[in-house]
Structure formats: C-alpha cells, structure tokens
Chains A and B, each alone.
Chain A
Amino acid sequence: MSFRDDHELHKRRLGRNVGLALVLAGFIAIVFGLTVVKVTRGDYEPENAKVAN
C-alpha cells in the first residue's frame, strides 16, 4: 500500500495554517507576558492607576 504525496496546494495551505497558528500563539504569549509585567510592577494598583489617569 502506498500513500500519494500531498498536492503542492495542500502543502501551501498547511504552511499558511501553521504560520497563522504560530502568530496566534506568539500573540497569546505577548499578552500574557505584558500582563505579568504590568501586574507585578503594580501598574494596576489604585494609587498608580490614579496617577496614570
């Protein structure tokens, strides 16, 4: 039994989907990282929030 090679179009679509998945995963990591930095730095403490506004 043999498997046929993927069509070039399928390979391109897979590449696009993997690329988009990596971008979304990266975005989640950045939002998480920013949240950690801002919370640990105390940006959202009531007194800091008042200064920021």
Chain B
Amino acid sequence: MSDASVNSQADFKEASFGDYFALLKPRVMSLVVFTALVGLLAAPNSVHPFVAFASILFIAVGGGASGALNMWWDADIDAVMKRTQSRPIPAGKVTRDEAFAVGITLSAFACIMLALASNLFAGALLAFTIFFYVVIYTMWLKRWTPQNIVIGGAAGAFPPMIGWAVATGGVSIESVLMFTLTFMWTPPHFWALCLFMKSDYKDAGVPMLHVTHGRRATRKHILVYTILLAIVAIGMAFTGVGGPIYLTTALILNGLFLAGAVSIWRRDEATAEADSYKREKSFFGLSLLYLFLHFGAILAEATLAPYGLGGW
C-alpha cells in the first residue's frame, strides 16, 4: 500500500478493536454478567467452576450481541441523541452493516456455545432474550408506545433466569422472582433518566412517557412503579433466595427508594429546573445501587448458606 492510499484512508475514521467492543455496550454487559452470575450461584444445583465461567461469558457475549443489533437498528436515533452520539456508528467509526454482522454472528455463536457448555434450555432462553430485546423492544415497541421500557424491560430481566437455567436446566419461582425484581426496577430507573435528559428523546421522536403524557404523569408513574417494586423486592425476602441479610438490605433500600420517588412525585418542573434535577439525578444513582445491592444480598445469602449463615 502506498503512502498516498494510507493518507486518504486515514481521513475515514477506521475502527479500532475498542470500537467494535463498544458495540457490545460494555456497561450494560456488566449488569448482565453480575445478575446472571447471581442467578447461577443462587440456584440449588452446583455447577463446575469452569462451566460456570464459560456460561457467564457466553451470556455476556449474547447480551453484547443484542446491544450491537440495537445500535444497528437505532443508528438514526443514536445520531440525534446527545447521550448516544459518540457511539461507534454515529461517530462514523463502524458502519451499520458491520454492526449487523458483528451482532448476528455473535448472537448465534453465544446461543450455540451456551447450549453446548451448559444445557439446551439455557441456550434457548438466551436466544429468546436476544429476540425479545432486538425484535420486540428495539424494532417494535421503542418507536411505537410509551410503554416501551415497561415491556421491553423484560429483556434486561432475563439474565438471572438464564444463570439459574444454566445450573438447573429449567425455571422456578425463585428465578421468576429475580426476573420480576429487575423487570419492576427498569421503569422508575429509566423514567428518572428521562426527566433530566430533557429533550433528547423528543428530538429523536421516541415516544417515551414524558414526551407523550408529560412530566407530571411520568413523576406519578415513577411513584406507582416504585411502590409495586418495593412489594416485590421485600416479598422476595421470604422465598428460597431470601434471608435476614436480604430482608435487611431490601427494607433499607426500598425505604430510601420510596422516599426518593415520593420526593420526585411532589416536585414540580420549576423546582426541578431550579436545582438542575438534583433529586432526579440522585434517584437515578440510587437505582443503580439498588439493583446491585439487592442481587449482592441474594448472592450473600447463597454464599453463606453452606455455613449455616444464609437463608431462613
């Protein structure tokens, strides 16, 4: 290759390895890894450590692949929203076709490898999760209804069920409850983000609740979903995955989360604007800690159970 061709190609923002990795949404992947790991370790059956490691890795790859397919489909929206403008496709580093190729290849790879490493049911559940996130949420719900993240939130709630399925080969009430916890947590988490992201979703034409029904209705919805979430989260303490550690964690966190939701509900836009959405931002930050600590408590119960310290 001549120097001239190198220089002309350098004008294009050719992707680095990190740009392809960024297609997999590493931050979302970390949540997938953690919740899937908790689901796997909380299950009553033991799994060989290497099989567990490989299974979690394939679940992470599957989750990342669905992120790449989401970026492929939503490239037009990502280019408009400030929060997503630096993603590899709108930044001009990776083409849409490349993102599709990466996403579809890794999806098939992850599902087949998970089925081979653990069991067919876990592989099939991962395939369904990818289908749900890409087709049901990204292609269908996201641009159609303000309930997009309520129903679409199911996609992010499946990983602990997949982790549980790796160990048990099936579904049980405990794994469904772990699913429900993440499912109920997603709406207040995202709506709090929407409140302080201002016009991003409106500019992109995404019918989020605050765009279609206004901010007052969004504040009310955050409170209602937080109450429902608290019932599920505290109720889980009395099931097979709960125990005193989980109950204490759930009582404290749900108390704080409810107080935050009430505070958001009572505020009007003028007050929120005046302090740059301080309460909404702190509620969003707390929501991240909320999910991490709930699953951390489930993990603590499972880890301490063999020593007679976890569970009831």
Contact = CB atoms under 8 A, between A and B. Distances in A.
A41 B10 contact: no
A34 B14 contact: no
Contacts of A15: 16-18
Interface string A18-53: 111000000000100110010001000000000000
Interface in B36-70: 48, 50-51, 54, 57
A37 B118 CA distance: 12
A12 B15 CA distance: 8
B13 to A, nearest CB: 10
Given A33-B54, A34-B50, A37-B50, A16 B17 contact: yes
Contacts of A12: 14-16
Contact of A41 (B21, B48, B54, B57): B48
Contact of B17 (A8, A19, A34, A37): A19
B21 to A, nearest CB: 8
A51 to B, nearest CB: 12
Contacts of A18: 17
Contacts of B117: 34
Nearest to B49: A37
Nearest to A16: B17
Nearest to A7: B6
Contacts, number: 38
Given A9-B6, A9-B9, A9-B10, A33 B17 contact: no
Interface residues of B, number: 18
Interface size bracket, A side: 10 to 19
Nearest to B21: A19
B57 A30 contact: yes
A24 to B, nearest CB: 12
A15 B21 CA distance: 12
B15 to A, nearest CB: 7
A19 B51 CA distance: 24
A34 B51 contact: yes
Contacts of B3: 7
Contacts of A19: 17, 20-21
A37 to B, nearest CB: 5
A34 B9 contact: no
B5 to A, nearest CB: 10
B78 to A, nearest CB: 22
B15 A16 contact: yes
Nearest to A12: B16
Contact of A33 (B6, B10, B21, B50): B50
A27 to B, nearest CB: 9
Contacts of B6: 7, 9-10
Contacts of A13: 14
Interface of B: 3, 6, 9-10, 14-18, 20-21, 48, 50-51, 54, 57, 116-117
20 contacts: A7-B3, A7-B6, A8-B10, A9-B6, A9-B10, A10-B6, A12-B14, A12-B15, A12-B16, A13-B14, A15-B17, A16-B16, A19-B17, A19-B21, A30-B54, A30-B57, A34-B51, A34-B116, A37-B51, A41-B48
Given A12-B15, A19-B17, 11 more contacts: A7-B3, A9-B6, A9-B9, A9-B14, A10-B6, A13-B14, A18-B17, A30-B57, A34-B51, A37-B48, A37-B51
